[in-house]
Structure 1
Amino acid sequence: MTSTRGFAQAGGYGGYRSFDYLEGGADYHAFELTPEIDRLPLYDLGLDENEREHAERLLQNSLVISLHDHPQVFPLDMSQAVEYGRTGRYPVGFEGLSYSGMDVVFDNLAGPTGCIVSHYSWTWADVAYDIGHRLADLAHQDYVRIVRSVRDIREIQGTGHLGWVLALEAASMIDNDLDRLDILYGWGVRQMGLVYNESNLLGGGLKEFSDGGLTRFGHRAVRRMNQLGISVDLSHAGDRTSIDAIAASEAPVTITHAGARGVWPSERMKPDHVLRALADSGGLLGIEAAPNSTLSPRHPGHDIEAVMHHFEYCVELMGIDHVTFGPDTLYADHARIHTEFAPLFGATIAPTLPASGADELSRIGVDEELTAPKADHCAGMENPTEVFRNAIGWLVKHGYSDEDIRKVVGGNTMRVLEQTWR
């Protein structure tokens, strides 16, 4: 097969494109957008015909949930990325998503610059603006259905529609006002990170030289999120803050998009002791696939094999019931986005790898100075359309049972949501 358009398309998609209710160029600044379909050639997993058919049946018949994505479309000319980010109006890749086989996607809203590196500077007004624009767009189409409860997910599976969960990567914008969490819940937010790389009033970020742990206000925020039914995400939290939050939460928490520091020496990955604590508490890890994140010394560059190295390591460490996928993908040249936005944030001094992570790397014989060539995309997991089709195909090819595949593509997420959402 040479094109994504040869795959099954969701029956609920009727052709709507973002902001069709407005006139581009007159009502808002319209950019020429990156193609949602076949920006790059389809990735060849090397499946035989029986494996392809088996994988496709599983994709279509299983509950498939992406725990973390940015399903928006960026400009084709990435030199316009910063200008695009400042408009505050971000188109959704509805057509691309209609070929993905997903039942539910957690949409992590983009922030004031349209880039995931900006969440630590998000203001309350920025959040209201972004959520309002997204909800206005979704209100004018019929393919996507907003998800606010586990019941909503159960009702949407098999209907040809896509469930949509509003999520935020940091709680910095609540300042010191817990009641803002209630407002976010009322707007539909059901998942939220505590911090985004830099420390805030709730706790320490993973980029800090030291992590003081979950603050008293952070403890209160976790309690309120438990009371409301907002899933706690620790993807960008420091190691001590993560351990503290896992202990403080009465409901299982999530690390929605990360990997194992025992595979790759980056503070962005999580050390074994944090992953074990997450699993012991009933929590869930989503394996990341953004370019140059879940790298592996066994697989130069960045591709699905490197991602699945992290997956298998974490399954061995945590158990199959505590791992899923949080791909962190979008429709664009993802690596170029980081390049374009980097000057806005100035030069930064990278922290040293936490000692616990260095100890684990030494134990498994990985050099903490290990480097890899920069990849411009993660081959085989480049965008939301292809991630789960290829993940399931890989799992079929490598002999995973249908039961375990169903767990890691959606079943494990449902288990945690049943214990978390109210």
Structure 2
Amino acid sequence: MLIDGLQCGFFDRGVFEDLKAGGFSCVTPTLGFWEGAIESFDSVAKWRDLERANADLMTIVRKTDDILAAERDGKVAMLLGYQNTNLLDGRIRYVELFADLGVKVLQLTYNNQNELGSSCYETVDPGLARFGREVVREMNQCGMLIDLSHVGDRTTLDAIEWSQKPVSITHANPASVFPHKRNKTDAIIKALAEKGGVIGCAAYRNITPEPACDSVDAWAQMVAQTVDIAGIEHVGLGTDFSHHSNQVYLDWMRSGRWTRSVQYGAASAAKPGPSEKPAWLKRISGLSDVGPALARVGFHAAEVEKITSGNWLRLYRATIG
């Protein structure tokens, strides 16, 4: 099995075919970044249309057993998620509502501070807000996985401590391996692991060492460095791979409706455009090369299985049910 903790972009039948060809069992697609409730309901509805139109290839996950059933049936399971909590529109009851509609992963903040807490790009991180605490506990109760990938350091640590269930960093790398505001300190990764959580190693060029973008073996070595920090039970895959994205999509991701100024996200003024995909991951089916690469850098078969699927499955079982 092969599970990717986060992908984004535009999904269609061709993407589902690529995922199946690559050996994927489950993927978390990004349904939105800055959208409010109505737009987010529209996104969920479109994904239900996709499920009906591609019922031979994919299925939407409601429970962890759906992933195993999809694997048996030769389909790819899609674990729906958002990279922000704007979809709640400040309403605590919308957590349960979206969970019932099949949204099982929510990132607490994206690239801006919101009502819940801080993003990784804020100058000052005041920590998890009172509304953030309410949402965390509501997500615990409603079977949603908490994602802290773009969240500020203090807010991340607060959420790890406050949550009654393990949480995730679905798509980031250790800052000790590649210094970047989007990546996570060793202290955060260890705190995540102590509570049973999982970090998904990213293949997004702006937050990944250049050698790890040049070869799958170097990327596998980066995964090994992450395992050295978190432990073998707490590392998975979270590529942040983008399908069919364009400049309009990129501008929306970075700027939403909150600014008139130029925003670069994890990029920079020196490299403002779309991030070039890793040389070894031009197509998402290339992720099937990761298992053999992990073996080449020293992981035995049972450890490879944990990194490529088992750790995510355990976390999903503990959170979404």
Same fold (TM over 0.5): yes
Give the one of 170, 179, 184 matched to 1:256.
170
- Cα deviation per residue 1:45-88 (whole Å; 9 max; x = unaligned)? xxxxxxxxxxxxxxxxxx22111112635xxxxxxxxxxxxxxx
Please point out which of 16, 20, 27 is paired with 1:98.
20
Which residue number corresponds to residue 4 of structure 2? 66
Determine which of 362, 378, 390 is the counterpart of 2:278: 378
Structure 2 Cα separation of the partners of residues 263 and 338 of structure 1: 26
Q: 1:315 aligns with which of 227, 231, 234?
A: 227
Superposition deviation, residue 162 in structure 1: 1.3
Match of 1:193 among 92, 95, 107: 107
Provide the residue aligned with 2:299 in structure 1. 400
Separation (CA, whole Å) in 2 of partners of 1:383 and 1:106: 17
Larger gyration radius, structure 1 or structure 2: 1
| SS of 2:196 mapped into structure 1 | coil
Moved more, 138-147 or 372-381: 372-381
Deviation at 1:338, TM superposition (A): 3.8
Given that residues 302 and 377 in structure 1 are in contact (C-alpha distance below 8 angstroms), is that contact kept between their aligned partners in structure 2?
no
State the shift of 1:347 in Å. Answer: 3.6
CA contact (8 A) 2:16 2:76 kept: no
Partner of 1:70: helix, strand, or coil? strand
Q: What is the DSSP-based 3-state SS (H/G/I as helix, E as strand, rest coil) of the residue aligned with 1:145? A: strand
AA aligned to 1:138 is E
How big is the shift at 1:331? Answer: 2.9
Q: 2:72 aligns to what SS in structure 1?
A: coil
Return the match for 1:124 from 37, 42, 47.
37
RMSD between superposed Cα atoms in Å: 2.7
Q: Which amino acid aligns with 1:171?
A: T
Answer yes or no: is the 8 Å Cα contact 2:60–2:77 preserved in 1. Answer: yes
Letter in 2 for 1:385: S
Q: State the distance in 2 between where 1:260 and 1:165 align.
A: 24
Q: Percent identity?
A: 27
Give the Cα–Cα distance (whole angstroms) in 2 for the partners of residues 413 and 316 of structure 1: 18
* 1:330 maps to 2:229: no
1:413 and 2:312 are equivalent in the alignment = yes
Listed as ranges, the gaps of 5+ residues in structure 1 are 1-62, 74-89, 112-118, 352-370
Q: Distance in 2 between matches of 1:102 and 1:300?
A: 21
The 8 Å contact of residues 255 and 262 in structure 2, kept in 1 or not, is answered as: no
Q: Does 1:211 align with 2:110?
A: no
Equivalent residue number for residue 289 of structure 2: 390
Matches of 1:257 and 1:335, distance apart in 2 = 21
Unaligned runs of 5+ residues in structure 2 are: none
Aligned ranges 1:11-50 → 2 under 5 Å: none
The residue identity in structure 1 corresponding to 2:131 is F
Q: What is the DSSP-based 3-state SS (H/G/I as helix, E as strand, rest coil) of the residue aligned with 1:205?
A: coil
The structure-2 alpha-carbon separation of the partners of 1:350 and 1:265, relative to structure 1 and needing over 3 Å to count, comes to farther
Against the structure 1 CA distance between its residues 333 and 138, is the aligned structure 2 distance closer, same or farther, given a 3 Å change threshold? closer
Provide TM-score, normalisation by structure 2: 0.88
Query: Could you say which residue in structure 2 is the equivalent of 1:85?
Result: none
Contact 1:231 1:254 in 2 (8 A): yes
Q: Give the structure-1-normalised TM-score.
A: 0.68
How far does residue 161 in structure 1 lie from its aligned partner after superposition? 1.2
Deviations 1:82-102 (A, max 9, x none): xxxxxxxx7761221221101
Aligned equivalent of 2:62: 148
For the structure 1 residues 333 and 174, does the alpha-carbon distance in structure 2 shift closer, same or farther, using more than 3 Å as the test? Answer: closer
Q: Aligned match of 2:182 in 268, 272, 283?
A: 268
Mapped contact 2:221–2:294 kept (Cα < 8 A) = no
Q: Is it true that 1:174 corresponds to 2:96 in the alignment? A: no
CA distance in 1: counterparts of 2:244 and 2:80, whole angstroms? 21
| 8 Å contact kept, 1:335–1:377 | no
- Answer yes or no: is the 8 Å Cα contact 1:287–1:307 preserved in 2: no
Match of 1:362 in 2: none
* Aligned counterpart for 2:141 among listed residues 205, 227, 232: 227
Q: Is this contact kept in 2: 1:262–1:272, CA < 8 A?
A: yes
Q: CA deviation at 1:397?
A: 2.3
2:48 aligned partner: 135
Q: Whole-Å Cα distance in 2 between the matches of residues 133 and 373 of structure 1?
A: 31
Q: Quick check: 2:213–2:219 contact (8 Å CA) kept in 1?
A: no
SS of alignment partner, residue 23 of structure 2: coil
1:286 match: secondary structure: strand
Conserved 8 A contact 2:175-2:185: yes
Shift of 1:373: 12
For the 8 Å contact 2:221–2:297, the answer to whether it is kept is: no
Aligned-partner Cα distance in 2 for 1:177–1:189: 16
- Kindly state the Cα deviation for residue 346 of structure 1 after the two structures are TM-superposed: 4.6
**Higher normalized helix content (fraction of residues):** 2
Kindly provide the amino acid, as one letter, of the partner of residue 193 in structure 2: A
Could you tell me how far 1:251 is from its partner in structure 2? 0.5
Query: Following the alignment from structure 2 to structure 1, what is the Cα–Cα distance between the partners of residues 176 and 86?
Result: 29
1:286 maps to what in 2?
Answer: 200
Indicate conservation of the 8 Å contact 2:233/2:311, yes or no: yes
